[in-house]
Amino acid sequence: MILDHKRLMIVVMPGIRRYLAEIGARGGRRSRRTLDADTARAMVRVREARRAFRRFRSTCFWSYRPDLVIGAHDVPWVAEQLMKHGNREAWRVGARLCR
């Protein structure tokens, strides 16, 4: 890409134009990810558990390492700790993780 600072003219080379057209067309197509609904829900639960661990660390998880990695097998434990040691908001988040 060549820029001329006086005229603000952009000259796009043919290879770049073809590449930009290809990635632009790809953006409009439907996702090709082969992820079933159960796996996607599990990923969302892990993400929510990690977020809750960080959010309620000072009240519910103060005795655990701050860099503790929460995985799929830890989601029930995070929900239990939130509901046992947290306030009303923590209990609500823990109940949502149990669903």
- C-alpha dihedral over 71, 72, 77, 83, to 10 degrees? 110
- pLDDT by position in tens, the chain (length 99): 555 555 555 666 677 778 877 777 766 556 666 778 899 899 999 999 999 999 999 999 999 999 999 999 999 999 999 999 999 999 999 999 998
In whole angstroms, give the CA distance from residue 97 to residue 2. Answer: 52
* Prediction pTM value: 0.66
